[in-house]
Chain A
Amino acid sequence: MSSAQPVVDASRSAQGTRIDLDGVSRRYRVGDVTVTALEQVDLHVDEAAFVVILGPSGSGKTTLLNLIGALDVASEGRVRVAGQDITAASSTGRARLRRHTVSFIFQSFNLFPGLTALENVQFGADVAGRADAREVAAETLAQVGLAGRENHFAHQLSGGEQQRVAIARALATGNPVLLADEPTGELDFRTGVAILELLQQQAAAGMTVLVVTHNREIARVADRVIELSSGHIVGDGPPAGGRAPVSELHW
């Protein structure tokens, strides 16, 4: 895998990558029952950091990621991303934020089966409105180590390759905040490590990268670990024992 330099759009990085959540709660109604996914969460993430949100299943970590990514709306509290208050933003406003500020990587890749690897990546650049979308896509795909696989469809790629295409798609948007939901969840150890390395490089290059995982081992390579349990933040700080290099990971 080549050393990937992010293709952050300079005009977008200028708007900042800071994330602020103040007193944020998220509740759902399931029939007659109200389920609290997050309760009074306060969180502030400085710019250009590699942050891991850690917690067991049902702790609210994905809900937190969705609120930051403007896919979901808080029941109470305030959410600001890159200087924009999205607490009461309209669906159009939230879509605009997703288009120009944040980008996603999913556990199950969610690639478009009808598009080639290159076109999937180009999709990210296109949606973000980048003028040189195809060139950016080709460059980004090469950066994640998939040069020569441009014309392959999703089903012709391995799981690790599909996830790298998904990362390239997110990077090709040029958006400064990268949100990854269990990005290594469906990958083997070796491929998972490679993916983490790639994400770490993005943070090093100036992006804010938030990775949601239940894998405590992954937290070792983060700049900061936020631990969730039952919708509350129960821990926030650097990894215990200091940040480890990716090469030391094993699970």
Chain B
Amino acid sequence: MAIRGLLLRWTLRDLRGRWVLVAAIALVLALGTGTYAALLGSSDWRRVSNDRSFELLLMHDVRVTLSEGLTADAGALAAVLGRIPQAGQVEAVEERLVVPTLVSVPGRDVLVPGRIVGMPVDATVDRLHVSSGRGFAQGDPAVVLERTFADYYELPDAGTLEVAGGRTVSYSGHGQVPEYFAIAGGSGGSFTTEAGFAVVFAPLATAQQLAGAPGQVNEVVLRLAPGADVGATATAVEEELAAEELAGTAVVKADEIVYRTLYEDIEGDEQFWRIIAGLLLAGAAFATFNLTTRVVEAQRREIGIGMALGLPRWRMAVRPLALGVQIAVLGVLLGVGVGVITGRLFGGLFRTLLPLPVWVQAFPYDTYLQAAALGFVLPLLGVAWPTWRAVRVEPVEAIRVGHLAAKGSRLTPLLRRVSLPGRSYHQMPLRNVVRTPRRTALTALGIGAAIATLVAVFGILDSFTSTLDDFDAETTRSAPDRVTVQFADVLPEASPQVAAVTGADEVGESATTLVLEATARSDGAVVPLVLSVRDIDGGLWQPSISGGEPADTATGIVLSEVAARDLGVAPGDRIMLEHPQRTAQGATQVTTPIVVAGTHPGPIRAVSYLDRSQADAFGAAGLVNSVEATPADGVSRDELTRALFDVPGVASVQAATALTDSFRGALDAFTGILGIAAAITLLLALLIAFNATSIATDERAREHATMFAFGLPRRVVVAMGMTENAVIGFLGTVIGVVLGFLLTRYTVEVQLHRTLPEFGMPATVSLGTVVVALAVGVGAVALTPLLTVRRLGHMDIPATLRVVE
């Protein structure tokens, strides 16, 4: 009984003497487990928030949009639905008119491309959620601005703004509709930002009046009864519309880019967070193993003495195991704290980035329990191994002086044969690294895991940035200051609206194009396309051709490399192209076989090109809906944009780089989320390095005292520690950069492509990221011995020299 009390007192005295170290190791562990819990726990509350938000606003099950430029009389689309076989399963239907526009931001000299969404005032499908101000009112023409756009430009709850065609409209509030929880306004359904795309929700009558299409609609949304076959309904609607020569495309809820992305994003993020959290946890585990092992090894002589005095082995194991328990308990408690703080930071960022109508951030107990279990077991494992080793050594060995001195590894003799430069004490850091390979490896692996996380996080940003830079370079390789003018309708090339643009005084050179939405199919693979019918060898700008012969581009379609890969085709192969074709009454959807003439390196999968000479085969000869124009001499691009904004029939005017500009904006927001992960990894790397240095300082106290006894200045001793840390940090950084690059490749080229197939990009880790990794892994880690300067300065040299291990 008495010995138990003694061991307990001894353990408590140990804790008092090393509580800083215990706390530091526990914090390392907590960063791993807490971040693990916070990151993986975010999936639960994001999913619940999505579910409730979509349900609150009664999101549609199917949306059918007529082909570019086609409209129908109000009621005609709803009538078509009454004729499909699944008509009995349709619970609610609403018709809409959706037209592109250009919005002049009130109070600013900024023109933003956007969309007017005309909808019923009291919609029963895709309801409007008003976040500020007030919504629609019967008989009131006032519109509602999309919430994030209004927030970005800090617009008041009510006011007026100007849309394309020089029309002024009043708005009464800010709000959201399910399809626009995230802004997918770019070509090919690509994402853009609130700064670069303005959505105006309008009562149907207001939208018809603004579009100059009274009584017309071009979209229908419907909700089906539970259990209804959504896919079959969508197909039936398309077929019924085609029969009416009203070509249209039906999209089911699961394929809506916003809906799909918000859920797939969670799954994609979850995979990514799992990797990041796993790495952080691995880093923390390596560090914990390393540190606890070294602390326990320092007790081996005392364990030996205890055993020599006849104490059973298991009793001597109590003290080191108690260290594991202390770290485990504190680590779990701190881990919950780290998790809650990180979770709140994440929650706040998601609320800002994705302001859903309903956000429910419940505490993910299961994930935290999992993390707590890991946090408890890891330090116990960390002390179990060295304790096992310690109690298995014969007491006579354990108490022998010099037994614990690192005796050098098999690698040490190698260094003996290598002639190192400098004085003997300059060589000691490298020798220390080599003589304790296990210690070196565990520390380097801990730092490596943290650096890998850092590189993976920044690598994703690098990949985005590099792809956008390449895309910008491609877009601006000729006529860089050109603008793209989009008409509200498909027009004959000789029409007065087109002439008003090409003949405007502010326009220098111009070229017309026809942009169509189409679908490519090959061997079961389906890829939606935005097909630009243009002069591939002429005009103001020509795409780069990366695959196939440039001479063949006049005889087939040019796909993006991403689309070709997803379709499984190469130049020379044939695909089936489903596209709208104009008829006397309107347009119908037809399928045309076409050869893949070449590929272009652009990152947006949908973007594809067809030479104008082939337009006749598509029933599109002489038709245009877009003009590319450069400013005339002495006219700026802004002046050109403002002048074309007022031309009747013009829906939007955008700079050629508008798409990449908007992506860059989105990237800035993304950086905020990744910044949290980066900060945690930085903290983890520094803590690992500090703990390792701190323990190394204790372990080498006698060596340092001997150096001081021989008059070696403190700065030299500290510099030796810094050099040793720099070498270990460099090893860790090399491991981290290689692992980080592999993770970036996996995340970008596999995970991200699965979540966002519309966007293809190669994985890139920039030189800047490698420099940051080196700065943290080598620079910052090397600096940690500076924190021991004070301790070294207060060292009792005579006492330390006489200490027998």
- Which positions in A face B, CB cutoff 8 Å? 62-63, 66, 69, 71-72, 91-92, 95-100, 103-104, 106-108, 110, 112-116, 119-120, 122-124, 126-128, 133, 151, 153-155, 173, 186
Contacts and interface: CB of A to CB of B under 8 A. Distances in A.
A63 B702 CA distance: 18
A110 B706 contact: yes
Among B402, B406, B424, B713, the one with the most A-chain Cβ atoms within 10 Å of its Cβ is B424
Contacts of B798: 62-63, 66, 71-72
A157 B705 CA distance: 22
Contacts of A106: 706, 709, 801-802
13 contacts: A71-B798, A98-B708, A98-B711, A106-B801, A108-B802, A110-B709, A113-B703, A114-B428, A119-B424, A119-B427, A123-B710, A126-B424, A133-B424
A96 B412 contact: no
A39 to B, nearest CB: 18
Contacts of B416: 116, 151
Contacts of B709: 69, 71, 98, 104, 106, 110
Given A62-B798, A98-B709, A126-B423, A112 B402 contact: no
A103 B710 contact: yes
A106 B708 CA distance: 13
Contacts of B427: 119
A28 to B, nearest CB: 10
Given A127-B425, A133-B424, A112 B706 contact: yes
Nearest to B713: A95
Interface in B387-420: 401-402, 405-408, 412, 416
B432 interface: yes
A-B interface, 8 closest residue pairs, ranked by CB to CB distance from nearest: A99-B711, A98-B711, A126-B423, A114-B431, A110-B706, A123-B424, A113-B405, A122-B424
Contact of A110 (B407, B431, B702, B712): B702
Given A116-B416, A128-B711, 16 more contacts: A72-B798, A99-B710, A104-B709, A106-B706, A113-B408, A113-B703, A114-B406, A114-B408, A126-B423, A127-B707, A133-B423, A133-B424, A151-B416, A153-B407, A155-B402, A155-B408
B479 interface: no
B565 to A, nearest CB: 54
Contacts, number: 101
B435 interface: yes
Nearest to A150: B416
A58 to B, nearest CB: 13
A201 B797 CA distance: 29
Contacts of B707: 127
Among A66, A103, A127, A186, the one with the most B-chain Cβ atoms within 10 Å of its Cβ is A127
B713 A113 contact: no
A70 to B, nearest CB: 9
B804 interface: yes
B61 to A, nearest CB: 72
Interface string B662-689: 0000000000000000000000000000
A62 B711 CA distance: 18
Interface in B416-446: 416, 423-425, 427-428, 431-432, 435
Nearest to A122: B424
Contacts of A114: 406, 408, 412, 428, 431-432, 435
B146 to A, nearest CB: 67
A243 B804 CA distance: 34
Among A110, A114, A116, A127, the one with the most B-chain Cβ atoms within 10 Å of its Cβ is A114
Contacts of A104: 709-710
A100 B423 CA distance: 17
Given A122-B424, A155-B405, A173-B710, A110 B412 contact: no
A62 B709 CA distance: 14
Given A114-B412, A114-B435, A133-B423, A92 B713 contact: yes
Nearest to A98: B711
Given A62-B798, A153-B412, A123 B425 contact: yes
A72 B710 CA distance: 13
Interface string B682-706: 0000000000000000000011011
A92 B793 CA distance: 11
A155 B431 CA distance: 15
A155 B407 contact: yes
Contacts of A154: 402, 405
Among A62, A107, A155, the one with the most B-chain Cβ atoms within 10 Å of its Cβ is A155
Given A106-B801, A110-B801, A154-B405, A127 B712 contact: yes
Interface in B747-805: 793, 797-798, 801-802, 804
Contacts of B713: 92, 95
Contacts of B793: 91
Nearest to A102: B711
Nearest to A92: B713
Contacts of A91: 714, 793
A62 B707 CA distance: 18
B440 to A, nearest CB: 12
B710 A127 contact: yes
B797 A113 contact: no
A113 B804 contact: no
B435 A113 contact: yes
A110 B805 CA distance: 11
Nearest to B710: A127
B405 A95 contact: no
Among A126, A133, A154, the one with the most B-chain Cβ atoms within 10 Å of its Cβ is A126
A106 B408 CA distance: 22
Contacts of A71: 708-709, 797-798, 801
Nearest to A103: B710
Contact of B708 (A95, A97, A120, A155): A95
Among B432, B702, B802, the one with the most A-chain Cβ atoms within 10 Å of its Cβ is B802
Nearest to B430: A114
B712 A95 contact: yes
Contacts of B435: 113-114
B408 A153 contact: yes
Contacts of A153: 407-408, 412
Nearest to A63: B798
A158 B710 CA distance: 23
Contacts of A99: 710-712
Contacts of B423: 122, 126, 133
Contacts of B708: 71, 95, 98
Among A98, A110, A116, the one with the most B-chain Cβ atoms within 10 Å of its Cβ is A110
Among B406, B431, B703, B706, the one with the most A-chain Cβ atoms within 10 Å of its Cβ is B706
B401 A108 contact: yes
A97 B706 CA distance: 15
Contact of A113 (B406, B425, B712): B406
A95 B708 CA distance: 7
A95 B712 CA distance: 7
Nearest to A104: B709
A72 B712 CA distance: 16
Interface string B198-234: 0000000000000000000000000000000000000
A106 B405 CA distance: 17
B674 to A, nearest CB: 41
Among B702, B706, B710, B801, the one with the most A-chain Cβ atoms within 10 Å of its Cβ is B710
A133 B431 CA distance: 19
A149 to B, nearest CB: 13
B727 to A, nearest CB: 13
A41 to B, nearest CB: 17
A112 B798 CA distance: 17
Contacts of B712: 95, 99, 127
A110 B797 CA distance: 12
Contacts of B797: 66, 71-72
A123 to B, nearest CB: 4
B250 to A, nearest CB: 74
A96 B712 CA distance: 8
B428 A126 contact: no
A112 B710 contact: no
A193 B399 CA distance: 26
